[in-house]
């Protein structure tokens, strides 16, 4: 008999024994009613047990490892922090060095140096888990630097040659001018508009179109520069400089423009110029940056307004107290200066002439300066103002010497040329110098004004002092005393800031040391002339050739002051472009922002048509006669005054 049958028999017997109303009957009924809740009671007991044990289990699961000693209420030590073992490097010093030297870029550069004379250093950073490797070679100094990841042995960074000392040589599109103007689509749009608006498309293989292509040719150089390939970038900008020198010399001697002309109507050129001017302003305000050159202008303006000369008074690093936080590289830029202000350091910003700083005073007074290298509204204000002033000046130059069409062509050329926008978006002072010269050219028949503006240009960027002899003797060989007087007065006004110092003569010495002295002895990889500083196999030493060309340039600057014997405005523009481009051809430190120095005068010389714009080609002692301004451009050759020597 199974257990269920036995239980049923026992229950029946009990019922028979226990009659209703008896104690046994009552007890049996109560027990029978409790059986359905036996499972519930068991579950409740289990839940109570879990609840009792849960706090300790939960606490043990969430308690973090102590980072400091733990004491109980009586002050007894109950827990001590766990000190992790320091992270050990996976690579040895030799392995990290070997990995770095095998990296293709590094290996290619090191192959230019013999093994004898090399020295190296490799340090391991426990925090980052990376090796910093540096390699030197004799007189060349540090020739390679990089970072090797310890865990994988991968080379994370590798800098060679000029990239070691120059961060801007490492390739950073947008470091100059921001990412917008360096965007290939934006840059390409400027190039297309420049070509389409100024080209002679009835004659696609004309000399005029070739001039335009040469003016745009440094685009290839800039592309390589933005990608950190200095040794490919540098040779690619010299063709433009050489072309301007050759073409300007030819035009300066022949006194003739270039056959052909743009095909756009005047109203289209003017409308496009206005649109581009607004676009350029918006691009500067919204999508540009301010490099150290623009920052230095704001600092210099503040110093002058505050009552001190700029030179020797710029904010420096490592004063008694820092007032800013470190950047990603660990460098602190903000320091308390001697004037008590917290300012961003710019120790080498006082290397320009007085007019370079005085030109920023209106922007500083209007926009102020926080003392930091921030957005710098005063720098934007000045860059935009001189950009628009140069554009307006070119329009007036063209209007005076060639009528509305030439004025529209020259203004459009400046507005559409991508390298002028590159200067504007970098917010440098490189538009100041050509701006003063353009307005001086507009007033070319007024020697005193011409001299004053030439002086302001020269005391902004010293390169334009090279054209002073040419402008002094224009339009013949005899120096103009009115030009000399205007030049002298403007020079005295510009250098009056020396009187702000207790000892002006000492400040004049500081000016010379911080400007001319600094610029003459400056090393840089941005030209062919100083590559020998790297002592690398395959890089020639061209210093002798550079000095020869510099001598020829100085002789040429003197020579064109007297030959041709009589000069027209067209010849003056062409020879001015020759001298400024020639200076850039032989200078050691060159940048793409220098192209606008000569561009306005190259534009006058190269874009002036071979038509009877007699006021442009006249070689008269006094004010030339009125131009045939309304005569349309033509490709036919005409008789113009021949140059006399």
591-628: pLDDT as tens digits:
999 999 999 999 999 998 766 566 676 665 544 443 43
Can you give the pLDDT at residue 73? 65
Residue with more model confidence, 134 or 28: 134
- Show Cβ contacts of residue 463 under 8 Å, excluding neighbours closer than 6 positions: 433, 580, 583, 584, 587, 597
CA–CA gap between residue 591 and residue 278 (Å, rounded): 26
Mean pLDDT of the chain: 85
Average pLDDT over residues 182-208: 94
Average pLDDT over residues 175-192: 94
pTM over 0.85: no
pLDDT for 400 beyond 70: yes
Number of Cβ atoms within 10 Å of the Cβ of 468: 20
- Structure tokens given for 308: 């001190």
CA–CA gap between residue 234 and residue 224 (Å, rounded): 9
Quick: pLDDT tens for 49-105.
444 444 444 444 445 566 667 766 666 666 666 555 555 668 899 999 999 999 999
In the chain the domains, ranked by start, together with CATH numbers, are: 93-160 (3.10.450.40), 178-288+379-617 (no CATH), 317-348 (no CATH)
Residue with more model confidence, 542 or 320: 542
Quick: pLDDT tens for 19-46.
344 434 333 343 344 444 455 444 444 4
Nearest to 346 by CA among 295, 309, 310: 295
- According to DSSP, the residues that pair with 145 across neighbouring strands are 134, 159
- Structure tokens given for 441: 């050219």
CA distance to 298, 374, 377, 380, per residue, from 290 (Å): 11, 8, 9, 8
pLDDT confidence band for 504 (50 / 70 / 90): very high
- Cα separation of the two ends of the chain: 145
On the CB side of 370, how many CA atoms lie within 13 Å of its CA? 8
CA–CA gap between residue 356 and residue 351 (Å, rounded): 10
Q: To which H or E segment does residue 516 belong? A: none
Average pLDDT over residues 117-136: 93
Q: Name which of 49-63, 167-181, 379-393, 440-454 the model is least confident about.
A: 49-63
Average pLDDT over residues 220-247: 96
CA distance to 182, 362, 463, per residue, from 493 (Å): 39, 16, 20
Can you give the pLDDT at residue 31? 35
- Structure tokens given for 522: 């400056």
Can you give the pLDDT at residue 320? 78
Number of Cβ atoms within 10 Å of the Cβ of 288: 29
DSSP letter for 529, please.
G
Average pLDDT over residues 327-349: 88
Can you give the pLDDT at residue 20? 41
pLDDT for 368 beyond 60: yes
Can you give the pLDDT at residue 331? 82
pLDDT confidence band for 480 (50 / 70 / 90): very high
pLDDT confidence band for 330 (50 / 70 / 90): confident
Q: Name which of 33-42, 233-242, 504-513, 627-636 the model is least confident about.
A: 627-636
Q: Name which of 426-435, 503-512, 633-642 the model is least confident about.
A: 633-642
């Amino acid at each position: 008999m199974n257990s269920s049958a036995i239980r049923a028999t026992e229950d029946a017997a009990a019922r028979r024994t226990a009659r209703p109303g008896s104690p046994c009957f009552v007890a049996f009924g109560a027990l029978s009613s409790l059986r359905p809740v036996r499972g519930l009671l068991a579950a409740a007991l289990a839940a109570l047990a879990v609840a009792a044990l849960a706090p300790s289990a939960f606490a043990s699961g969430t308690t973090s490892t102590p980072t400091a000693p733990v004491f109980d209420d009586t002050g007894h030590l109950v827990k001590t922090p766990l000190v992790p073992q320091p992270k050990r490097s996976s690579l040895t010093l030799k392995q990290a060095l070997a990995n770095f030297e095998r990296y293709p870029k590094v290996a290619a550069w090191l192959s230019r140096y013999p093994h004898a004379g090399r020295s190296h250093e490799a340090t391991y950073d426990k925090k980052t888990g990376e090796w910093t490797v540096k390699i030197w070679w004799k007189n060349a100094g540090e020739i390679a630097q990089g970072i090797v990841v310890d865990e994988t042995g991968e080379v994370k960074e590798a800098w060679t040659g000029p990239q070691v000392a120059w961060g801007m040589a490492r390739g950073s599109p947008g470091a100059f001018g921001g990412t917008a103007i360096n965007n290939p689509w934006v840059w390409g749009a400027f190039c297309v508009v420049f070509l389409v608006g100024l080209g002679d498309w009835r004659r696609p293989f004309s000399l005029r179109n070739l001039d335009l292509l040469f003016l745009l040719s440094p685009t290839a150089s800039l592309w390589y520069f933005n990608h950190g390939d200095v040794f490919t970038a540098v040779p690619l900008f010299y063709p433009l400089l050489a072309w301007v020198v050759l073409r300007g010399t030819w035009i300066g001697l022949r006194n003739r423009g270039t056959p052909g002309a743009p095909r756009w109507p005047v109203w289209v050129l003017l409308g496009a110029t206005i649109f581009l001017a607004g676009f350029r302003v918006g691009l500067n305000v919204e999508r540009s940056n301010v490099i150290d050159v623009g920052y230095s202008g704001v600092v210099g303006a503040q110093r002058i307004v505050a009552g001190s000369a700029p030179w020797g008074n710029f904010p420096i690093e490592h004063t008694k107290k820092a007032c800013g936080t470190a950047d990603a590289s660990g460098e602190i830029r903000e320091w308390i200066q001697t004037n008590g202000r917290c300012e961003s350091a710019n120790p080498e910003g006082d290397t320009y002439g007085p007019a370079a700083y005085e030109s920023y005073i209106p922007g500083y007074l209007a926009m102020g300066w926080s003392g930091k290298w921030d957005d710098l509204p005063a720098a934007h204000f000045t860059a935009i103002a001189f950009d628009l002033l140069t554009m307006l000046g070119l329009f007036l130059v063209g209007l005076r010497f060639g009528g509305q069409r030439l004025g529209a062509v020259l203004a459009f050329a400046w507005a559409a040329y991508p390298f002028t926008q590159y200067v504007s978006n970098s917010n440098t002072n490189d538009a100041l110098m050509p701006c003063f010269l353009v307005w001086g050219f507009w007033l070319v028949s007024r020697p005193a004004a011409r001299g004053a503006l030439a002086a302001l240009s020269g005391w902004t960027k010293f390169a334009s002092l090279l054209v002073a002899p040419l402008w002094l003797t224009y339009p013949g060989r005899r120096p103009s005393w009115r030009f000399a007087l205007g030049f002298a007065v403007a020079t005295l006004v510009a250098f009056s800031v020396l009187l702000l110092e207790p000892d002006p003569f000492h400040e004049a010495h500081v000016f010379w040391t911080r400007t001319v002295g600094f610029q003459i002895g400056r090393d840089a990889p941005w030209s062919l002339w100083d590559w020998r500083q790297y002592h690398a196999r395959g890089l020639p030493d061209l210093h002798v050739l550079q000095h020869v060309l510099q001598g020829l340039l100085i002789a040429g600057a003197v020579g064109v002051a007297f030959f041709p014997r009589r000069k027209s405005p067209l010849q003056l523009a062409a020879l001015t472009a020759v001298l400024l481009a020639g200076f850039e051809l032989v200078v050691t430190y060159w940048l793409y922002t220098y192209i606008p120095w000569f561009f306005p005068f190259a534009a006058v010389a190269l874009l002036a048509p071979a038509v009877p714009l007699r006021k442009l080609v006249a070689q008269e002692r006094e004010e030339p006669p009125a131009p045939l301004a309304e005569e349309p451009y033509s490709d036919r050759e005409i008789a113009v005054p021949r140059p006399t020597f």
